[in-house]
Every structure is written in C-alpha cells, then in structure tokens.
Amino acid sequence: MLLKFNTQITTESFLTFLRYKNRNANTPPTVDDTDDIVLDGEFIVCQDGKSRFLLFDSKDDDRIIGFASDTCLNILSKSSTWHVDGTFKSAPGCYKQVFTIHAWFLEQMFACVYILLKKKDEATYKKMIMLLRDRLFELGFNVAPVKLVTDFELATINAFRSQFGLRIIGCHFHFLQAVRRAIDTLGLKTAYKKQEIQKVLKIWMGLSFVPIDLMSEAIEIAIEKKNELYENLETIFQSVQTETEPISRNFVTIGRGRGRGRGRPRGSTAQRLSEPITIEVEQNANQNDVVVSGRSRGRGRGRGRGRGRGGRVGCSNEESNVDISLIKSNLEEFFDYFVKQWFEGSIEYEMWNHSSTDGPRTNNHLEGYHFKVNSWIDKNHPGVYNLVKFFKMLDSNTVFEYNKRLTGKPAPELSKNLKAKNQVLEENIVRLRNKLINLEEFLNVSRLLINFKSV
C-alpha cells in the first residue's frame, strides 16, 4: 500500500508539531546519576507508542544507551558511508556527549542512531560499537559500512577501524580548520593576507585534492614553491602600492583549455570540459597567476563594504617595517607543522586526501544538524527523559524525510557554489589523468577550492 504523504510539509513545521504535541506530556524528574535512569513505557517506544525505539542499554557503570527505530536501522544497513560526530551541549548533566551516527543514502544525509556516552575514549567507543553490532545482528540487520567520515579524533578512528575495518575519511572542514588555527597561532595571520604567501600555503593545503599516486611528485612541487617564496619574501614586503585595486575576488571563472587562458580543447575528453565554470573563492585570491580565465563577479558596494570590496596591494605603513627573518621563521614552523602533523604523524595522508571521495567531504551536515538540535532544545544539558523524547521527535523526522524520498521527493540540492567546486575538482582530475594539464597547473587551480570563509 502506497503511503499518502504530504511532501510539502517542511522539516521545521513537522518538528514544531511534534514539539507542541509533547509539551504537556508528563516527564519523570531529572536524575543526576545514570544509575537512577529508568527506561520503560514511552521512553522505549517510538512516537507511535508501539514500535521499539530503545536500541541497547549496557546497564553498567558506563551506562551506554542507544536509540534508533527500525526504519533508521534499515537506512543505516543500506548505506555504505557513515558519518559520526559527538555534541556536548545537548548532553544531560550525567553524560559527557551525545554521539550520533548518520548515513549517506539516496544522496541525502539521515540521522539514524543516538547514543549517550559518559566518556570519549577509545575503550568507550569500542564498547559502544560492539553493543551496536550485537544488537543489529539480533534484530536481523546486516551492516557493512565501507567508509566512515569523522573528525581527526584518534579514539574514534581507532575504534571504528578495529571493529569494522573500513576506510576512514577525515572531515575536510576539520582539516582546514586545524591548518587555519596553525596559521594564526604561528604568527602568520597578517602575513597570510599577502597574495604570494596565501598562494603557497593554499598549494600545500591543496595537496588534499591530489590523487594518491601522484602525491610524491606534488610534494616536490609544493617544496619548490616554498623555497621560491623564501627567496622572494623581501620583494613581497617591499612592494608598497598606494592605489587600491580590486584584488579581493569573490568569483573566478575557471577556463577549460590547456595551459594559461582559454586554449583550444583537444580530444573527446577535452570537448566535454569546454565550458568554463564560475566558483566563489576566498577574498585576496589572486586569479591572474593561475590556470584560469578569471573575471571578477563580486557585487562591490564601495571600499570596505560588500562582497566585491577592493584590497590593498603590497603592505601598509606598519607592514613596511616587518621583520622578514621572523616571517621566514614562522613560515618554517608552519611547513614543519604541516609535514609532522599531516604526513609523519599518526594521521596518514590517505585519510585527509579527498581526490577519490564520493559524497560529502565534510561532516558539515552533522555540525549543522547538531546546531539545530541544540537550538531546538529548551536549555543546555537537558534532563535524560526530556532528551529521549527529543530523540523520538528527531527519529520521526528522519522517517518523515525518508518517506518523502520514497514518494518521489528529490534530495536536498547542494548549493550552486559547492556543485561548481565539486565539478571543478572532478574535471580537473580527469584533465590531469588525460595529460591536458600538468600537476603544477592542477595544484594552481585546486588551491582556489580552499576557502576559509566558514572556518
């Protein structure tokens, strides 16, 4: 029997309905100790009052409790890519975090499992996964995730890898966030505004898009760019210009020809890549020295205002007295950090490389989801019972969204800018493989995909 579903109802209106429905429901008093938690009645069934919702309860000192409906477990079992993250603001006072497992399925992210954890160490995560696997087996769900997208918390990485043997993909947003933090803490926040410095640092960050088999060659190019930067530091900080020029580009159009400019495409592959793509880039990105045919499309509203505002070329009066040796020392510290953290440390570069990632490269879906959850909850660190009620609402919403997909509703669309960036990356890899561009040109374009606006 086909479900009759109103696909015009929004997620927000559905959650509002559920919240209103439950606002006067009787709730047991708040507990301060996990030993005092009693789960029965409405707290172990779904919103319909019949279907199972409590997934597992360790009932020991750790008191790990998981919640999920059969529909959400069905989605989880069909998905090959899981995204996991923890949030602390919405965790009850007697717990450390709410750990959620989301599934990428049918080109959409679905929140599937909610787990209360008192700790955030590897042993706790392993125990949580074992409880999850055993219960899924009991309920007849066969899960075999291939990829896990997470941040770079080693406890989470080691636990899931040991239990599932899947490929770990580090969230690209967290990667950029960590690198940006290093730029700021190593004294390069002001120097980063220089186009020449920003270009080289972004080439290093752009290594995250280089195909694995070409990484060694790409590193050599990145090192060459670093050495060239060292040689030109004095020139960079001596060239003071008083004229304001529109260097703060918001949009560049990536040309699809060979070499610089709009060369004539050759071959069937090149013909498919003939139309230019416009992408949004970070301010101060210089489009005149890369493999693009660029033109500014920023909506300038005058100096110092709007997206298309002009920037100052060179350095200010204060910058004219900068200590070049100090900047070079700070840059050396940054490159040393990058190599030790992202190549020689416990995080292998295959984890933060996204040249072959199919699907979201970040956990931003989860970050946004947790932000919404935290804003919907009446207060920080709610009581356990109120939180379980909220989990039930969220679970009902996942079922609601899933049913909309089954009745023909399309998946949420990506932003135009993200679509364009994905297309640029995919097609540049094709051009690189077909030798339509070389690796240095690939890095030069890929760095434009690095944007710190939201980091």
The model's pLDDT over 94-139, given as tens digits with 9 standing for 90+, comes to 999 999 999 999 999 999 999 999 999 999 999 999 999 999 999 9
Residue 268 has pLDDT above 60, yes or no: no
pLDDT for 295: 34
pLDDT for 31: 87
pLDDT > 90 fraction of the chain, expressed in percent and rounded = 62
Task: Name the packing angle between helices 439-446 and 416-433 (round to 10°).
Answer: 170
- How far from 351 is each of 280, 298, 399, CA to CA, in Å? 26, 35, 32
pLDDT for 299: 39
SS percent in the chain: helix, strand, coil, step 5: 45, 15, 40
Reported as a single tens digit per residue, the pLDDT across 304-353 is 433 333 333 334 444 556 789 999 999 999 999 999 999 999 999 999 99
Yes or no: domain 11-171+362-406 corresponds to CATH 3.30.379.10: no
pLDDT for 311: 35
pLDDT band (50, 70, 90) for residue 152: very high
Place of tokens 């909610």: 114
Q: 237 or 317: which carries more pLDDT confidence?
A: 237
Place of tokens 């279907």: 51
Are 244 and 312 in contact by the 8 Å Cβ rule? The answer is: yes
User: Which of 174-178, 313-317, 433-437 has the lowest average pLDDT?
Assistant: 313-317
Are 225 and 368 in contact by the 8 Å Cβ rule? The answer is: no
User: Where would I find the beta strands (DSSP E) of 106-219?
Assistant: 108-117, 147-150, 167-170
DSSP 243-289: SEE----SEEEE--SSSSS-PPP-HHHHHHT-S-EEEE--TT--GGG
Distance CA 421, CA 259 (A): 20
Q: Label residues 156-179 b or e (16+ Cβ within 10 Å = b).
A: bbebbeeebebbbbbbbbbbbbbb
pLDDT for 249: 41
Reported as a single tens digit per residue, the pLDDT across 27-40 is 787 888 999 999 99
The residue extents of the domains of the chain are 11-171+362-406, 187-343+416-449
pLDDT for 193: 92
pLDDT band (50, 70, 90) for residue 378: low
pLDDT for 217: 98
Mean pLDDT of 12-19: 52
Residue 12 has pLDDT above 80, yes or no: no
Distance CA 350, CA 371 (A): 29
pLDDT for 393: 92
Question: Mean pLDDT across the chain, nearest whole number?
Answer: 81
3-state secondary structure of 63: coil
CB proximity list for 357: less than 8 A, separation 6 or greater: 169
Q: Which residues pair with 164 in a beta bridge?
A: none
Residue 128 dihedral angles phi and psi, to the nearest 5°: -60, -45
Are 262 and 255 in contact by the 8 Å Cβ rule? The answer is: yes
- How far from 445 is each of 170, 203, 208, 292, 387, CA to CA, in Å? 22, 9, 13, 7, 46
Q: 313 or 60: which carries more pLDDT confidence?
A: 60
CB proximity list for 182: less than 8 A, separation 6 or greater: 334, 337, 338, 341
pLDDT for 5: 36
